[in-house]
Amino acid sequence: MNTETILLGDAGGTNVRFAVARVAHAQITLAPIWKRPGAEYPSFAAALAAFLAETGPNITGAAFGLAGVEHLGRIELLNRGWTVDRRETMAQLGLDGIVMVNDFFAMARGAVELAAGDALEIMAGEIDPLGSVAVGGPGTGFGTAVLRRIGDGWVVVAGEGGHQNYVPQTDLEWRVAENLRARGVYPSNEIVAAGVGFEETREALAIAMGLADPKLSQAGIITAAERGDVFALEFCRLRARCVMTAMGNLALVANSTGGVCLAGGVTQRLVPWLREKSALDRFYQRGPRTGLLAGIAIRNITSETAPLIGAAHLWLDDRRRGWL
């Protein structure tokens, strides 16, 4: 394959990122990332137009990871209010075809292409290079995906696991779930752990603890928890236990002997509480099947380039075998 220049994109509920990459013999060289708040643009097309106007790249392909479900060539970004149409995006770029997938589909593909220093160890364990890998975690929303090795490549299965029902296991957690339901809020993993449900869950926890809602921001909660504030600590632990329960469930479904990769902006802020025994027990303690998860390694993806690198490899996969 000759050297080609492709456009990569990653759009979530908070930010939109673009970068140009040069691809030669399956080697990907990424240019600096263009990153902007999605709220600055009325649509994905407008954000893309702004990037193209600033950089003017000459591209031969494109691959995008977008925070929504692809259906009939369209992806609706639930937490951003954008709808991206494949044909319209191809026309905007002047291309005959593009790769357009869920953002955690791209994140998952990038999880097995990480460089040294791109992930932080949460719990050591064995990694089977031929085993399935579970990828997921909260940012603005809560994404999930699974990778499976086939021959010399990978297949990604992405889903909407973040919308699975939240699983409370303590009296306090049950009261939080009941308070959410009483307010007409479906208590999903995404609502409890991710940014989209932050205020509702903060208010529900305050009621459950018999405290006044402190009205802190997400950053304020982390700062208060680091100072030892009782409410903020419980909020962070509630989120961490939710994440580890959900990812342990996904690891069981996928038999993730290849490891578990946590991702998402909220996940990165929860690392101290993800490492606590109460959170790790939610992942590993599974009754008669505890042994299935005992040796599974858990890492947190910290690299901002992972979903873009993943999108580039999906483009290569599509070129090589004609399907994803």
Per-residue model confidence as pLDDT tens digits over 269-306: 999 999 999 999 999 999 999 999 999 999 999 999 99
Residue 267 confidence (pLDDT) above 60: yes
Question: In the prediction, which pLDDT does 26 show?
Answer: 83
**Residue 207 sits in a domain of what CATH number?**
3.40.367.20
**What does the pLDDT average to over 189-200?**
97
Name the pTM for this structure. 0.94
Are residues 191 and 247 part of one domain?
Answer: yes
Tokens (6 digits) for 119: 């992930």
Tokens (6 digits) for 279: 């959170």
- Cβ contacts of 281 within 8 Å, gap of 6 or more: none
Are residues 312 and 256 part of one domain?
Answer: no
Residue 52 confidence (pLDDT) above 60: yes
Question: In the prediction, which pLDDT does 78 show?
Answer: 83
**What does the pLDDT average to over 313-320?**
96
- Beta-bridge partners for 90: none
Domain count, the chain: 2
pLDDT band, residue 308 (cuts 50/70/90) = very high
Are residues 311 and 292 part of one domain?
Answer: no
Question: In the prediction, which pLDDT does 195 show?
Answer: 96
Are residues 143 and 88 part of one domain?
Answer: no
Are residues 189 and 246 part of one domain?
Answer: yes
Per-residue model confidence as pLDDT tens digits over 137-182: 999 999 999 999 998 899 999 888 999 999 999 999 999 999 999 9
Question: In the prediction, which pLDDT does 25 show?
Answer: 85
Are residues 137 and 174 part of one domain?
Answer: yes
Are residues 99 and 88 part of one domain?
Answer: yes
Are residues 103 and 173 part of one domain?
Answer: no
Are residues 259 and 127 part of one domain?
Answer: yes
Judged by DSSP in three states, 184 sits in coil
Query: Whole-angstrom Cα distance, residue 146 to residue 104?
Result: 9
pLDDT band, residue 69 (cuts 50/70/90) = confident
- Of the chain, the end-to-end C-alpha distance in Å amounts to 19
Which DSSP string corresponds to 134-174?
A: EEEEESSSEEEEEEEEETTEEEEEEE-GGGSBP---SHHHH
Question: In the prediction, which pLDDT does 1 show?
Answer: 55
**Residue 66 sits in a domain of what CATH number?**
3.30.420.40
Are residues 104 and 9 part of one domain?
Answer: yes
pLDDT band, residue 265 (cuts 50/70/90) = very high
Tokens (6 digits) for 192: 């409890």
CA-based nearest residue to 13, from 71, 54, 65: 65
Question: In the prediction, which pLDDT does 166 show?
Answer: 98
Is there a contact between 91 and 291 (Cβ–Cβ < 8 Å)? no
Q: What is the extent of the structural domain holding 160? A: 119-301
* Structural element, H or E, at residue 269: helix 265-269
What's the half-sphere exposure (Cβ side, CA atoms, 13 Å) at 56?
A: 0
Query: Helix 86-93 vs helix 44-55: angle between axes, to the nearest 10 degrees?
Result: 20
Per-residue model confidence as pLDDT tens digits over 8-28: 999 998 999 999 999 998 899
Judged by DSSP in three states, 72 sits in coil
Residue type, 98: I
Mean of the per-residue pLDDT values for the chain? 96
